[in-house]
Amino acid sequence: EVQLVESGGGLVKPGGSLRLSCAASGFTFSSYSMNWVRQAPGKGLEWVSSTSSSSSYIYYADSVKGRFTISRDNAKNSLYLQMNSLRAEDTAVYYCAKCSTTTCPPGGFDYWGQGTLVTVSS
């Protein structure tokens, strides 16, 4: 059974940093691109970042470029999101999501974690 479990969320002050983790199991993690997607309270889904299986290709949304860094450790079956210079508008539930194909595009996101809440507030 595929499982994605996020951790690392919490309350942080504007300008602060946080590192999210996503522990994956039930599939060959090293073969699939992975993504972070966020959802602000009461709002829609926003794609944040993706990394290819070997980290050769990494992409970011304009809203987080230069502040967030996605990474992965295939030996530990884990995905990470380092978030720096956090702003109030980064407040959201952050989901990790697996690509349904080995690369995204073309695939969609076939498995999602339960999400971890990040709150940026003074």
CB 73 → another protein: shortest distance, Å?
22
CB 45 → another protein: shortest distance, Å?
5
Binding site for another protein (CB under 8 A): 35, 37, 44-47, 50, 57, 59-61, 95, 100, 104-115
As a whole number of Å, the CA-based R_g of the chain is: 13
Tokens (6 digits) for 50: 């993706």
Q: Which CB, 26 or 108, lies closer to another protein?
A: 108
Output phi, psi for 20, to 5 deg.
-95, 150
CB 10 → another protein: shortest distance, Å?
19
User: Minimal CA–CA distance to 58: which of 39, 72, 37?
Assistant: 72
